[in-house]
Amino acid sequence: MRLIISEKANTAKKIAQFLSEGSVKEGKHRSVPHHTFTWKGEETVSVGLKGHVLNPEYPEEYSNWQKVEPRELIDAEILKSVSEKGVAQAVTSLAKKADKVVIATDFDREGELIGVEALSLVFEANPKLIDHVERARFSALTPGEVGRAFDELLEVSNDLADAGEARQDIDLIWGATLTRWVSRATKRYGSAFLSVGRVQSPTLVLIAERERERRAFVPEPYWELEVNLRDGEPFTVRHQTERFKKEAEARRAYENVSDTATVVEVQQKSATRRPPTPFNTTAFLTAAANIGFSPSRAARIAEDLYTDGYISYPRTDNTVYPRSLDLREVLGYLKRVEGAGQHAEKLLARDKLSPTRGKKETTDHPPIYPTSYATKKSMRDDRWKIYQLVVRRFLATLSDPAKTLRTTLRFDSGGEPLVTGGTVVTEEGWLGVYPYSRRADEEIPHLSEGDVVQVVGKEILSKETQPPGRYGAGRLINVMEELGLGTKATRPNIIQNLYDRGYVHDDPLVPTEKGMAVAEALKVFASEIASHEMTAELERSMDDISEGKVSKETVVDSSRDLLRRVYDHLQSSETEFADIVWEGIRTDETIGKCPESGHDLIIRRNRKSRKRFVGCTGYPECRVTYPLPQRGEIIPLGTPCDACGSPEIKVLGGKRPWVTCINMDCPKKQEQKEAAAKSAEEEGGEGSSTQSAQELQKSTT
């Protein structure tokens, strides 16, 4: 019997359906499904894992954070425990009956490691299988791609698996050692622990450094002059001097502008916008972020679409379609996709298809492309949006360039030069199917040189220069790639970890004071873990392992040596490190000023119930308190409520963050409750209040 092991249950089922030469018999080992069928005249069983079946961990004697010296973890033995016992038992049971094994996990470092982990269970159950292992590598769960992979079986790459295991071990050693040290130094245990990571920490430092730039930024004033003209319909122009550095200069120009403006030049310039290149992982996550999907959410949805057979493997660096990809076959099933079918038909009518090419061309996986037809009714709205994004990107890469026309009008009014311009699309090209990159047309009046129009208004606008913008999630993914931080598979989770640990909130990412303090302390006392250079160098070492240039043990041992030096430096600076971090934590817990005593209002916890609330630092003389929601991260905003003047907070948690003031007697809050009650009455008692009113109501019970 041949045993096929894939990464997920859904994949195992599809492989059985694609390869079967007859019917597929469904079975289960306890709760784990497997599929029996005939392939090439031989009985075959397909079973799926649940990702990693082995989990790296330290021995039990190292489990107590407060009693075990974190430095001991650097050289402690790393064990591999079974993480999915039911799956492991199913694999073991099936392996005993097998005489051949095919590993069909995802084709990347992690997938290869997952396959090798499964093989360790297989060999333990049936040592005779050691010399009867093959590897199926595919990039799409389609009959053609899976069939080709199983017709061209290869060997398992132990080097690739070793690279994945080296990353796993190094991340555990660094993360566990430094997280425990920081938590011990700051006495933050349980759910309040402060995490440190090989990739997470330099990413946090990037965000914190940008925030420091913003805080250090000194705005400079400038003035703009806008003039309203009328030619049938009113329109706005600006002074050719976009920014006046002195208000007096803007005022002189304002006074000079007369009652009319004369067109002195009409300039038109056409431009061509080339179609986008095929999606690799980074480009996909960036595009998904631009339509409202966090990197971690977009990655999860893409993985689901891949295992369901709708798109190709979503973790790839490639931006060039391979010659083996039948572009017309893909267009053939996209003809029926809602909103994109008509464009696919136009492309099919062409004699030649010429897709765009990006700068990166690899041989492991193709760029992300749609692999089958889907309807809007067949999937959830979020999955449909991501599927549509992939479909439209694929069609855009095969489409014509878009053409635009930029018209610039220059005027003279009282000797002052005025200007306006607008860009319109003259040929849609790829923008017709990929609207995400399309800007609205800027229509301006059709005027000719010498035309005179009326001045109907003018205004001097006082403005200030703005600090550099914060990183949006999509931009941060790109920066991480440029600096070698993480991999295409790990970057979304790294960013999500920063949110989960309360180091950042919102998008663009805003660091909390705790996040700022942790980043600062690491920069001062552990520059290696705060720098992208160290982790990028380790990433290059992983590549060397996968290419067989260096052993896993050499890289892991070298990483241990570096960590020892980092640890010794931290150990000698424990008090100073903790002081920096606690300053940030205390700032995050300060909500505002007490209206009665003027002392700070801070987040406290009831000693018995452990419920949190806002209390005055002037206690016991001042007993002012306010209730708080009991779930979610609390972010002080430093702004007063416009209705009652009480401090405002942001609550992170649930479906989306929300802002409220801490005063339960706030007039605005009372209005919300009354509106909710009225809505409930009108709907027969089934209405609902606003989220903030609901949460604060819960916090008082």
Interval 7-18: pLDDT, tens: 999 999 999 999
Q: Greater confidence, 130 or 669?
A: 130
Residue 691, pLDDT score = 45
Residue 157, pLDDT score = 96
Residue 670, pLDDT score = 78
Residue 290, pLDDT score = 94
Residue 655, pLDDT score = 66
Asked whether residue 342 carries a pLDDT value surpassing 50, the answer given is yes
Asked whether residue 169 carries a pLDDT value surpassing 60, the answer given is yes
pLDDT, average across residues 92-109: 95
Confidence of residue 682 (pLDDT cuts 50, 70, 90): low
Q: Greater confidence, 291 or 668?
A: 291
Average pLDDT, the chain: 92
Residue 190, pLDDT score = 84
Q: Which of 216-225, 265-274, 324-333, 650-659 has the lowest mean pLDDT?
A: 650-659
pLDDT, average across residues 586-592: 93
Q: How far apart are CA 136 and CA 11, in angstroms?
A: 13
Asked whether residue 690 carries a pLDDT value surpassing 90, the answer given is no
Residue pair 683/663 in contact (Cβ under 8 Å)? The answer is no
Residue 59 half-sphere exposure toward CB, CA atoms < 13 A: 8
Residue 671, pLDDT score = 79
Residue 61, pLDDT score = 95
Q: Is the torsion defined by CA of 182, 184, 186, 189 positive or negative?
A: positive
Residue 621, pLDDT score = 94
Q: What are phi and psi of 229, to 5 degrees?
A: -115, 165
Residue 538, pLDDT score = 86
pLDDT digits (tens, 9 = 90+) for 630-650: 888 898 998 899 989 899 999
Catalytic positions: 313
Q: How far apart are CA 5 and CA 642, in angstroms?
A: 61
State the burial class of residue 312 (Cβ atoms within 10 Å of its Cβ: 0-12, 13-18, 19+).
Answer: buried
Residue pair 5/93 in contact (Cβ under 8 Å)? The answer is no
The encoded tokens of residue 570 equal 């931290």
Residue with the two structure tokens 């299988």: 129
Asked whether residue 285 carries a pLDDT value surpassing 60, the answer given is yes
Asked whether residue 693 carries a pLDDT value surpassing 50, the answer given is no
Which positions ≥6 away from 398 have C-beta within 8 Å? 275, 327, 331, 347, 353, 354, 355
State pTM to two decimals: 0.88
User: Over pLDDT 90: what percentage of the chain?
Assistant: 83
pLDDT digits (tens, 9 = 90+) for 392-447: 999 999 999 999 999 999 999 999 999 999 999 999 999 999 999 899 999 999 99
Domain architecture of the chain: domains with CATH: 2-49+84-156 (3.40.50.140), 165-215+470-582 (1.10.460.10), 221-275+402-464 (2.70.20.10), 281-397 (1.10.290.10), 589-699 (no CATH)
Residue 687, pLDDT score = 39
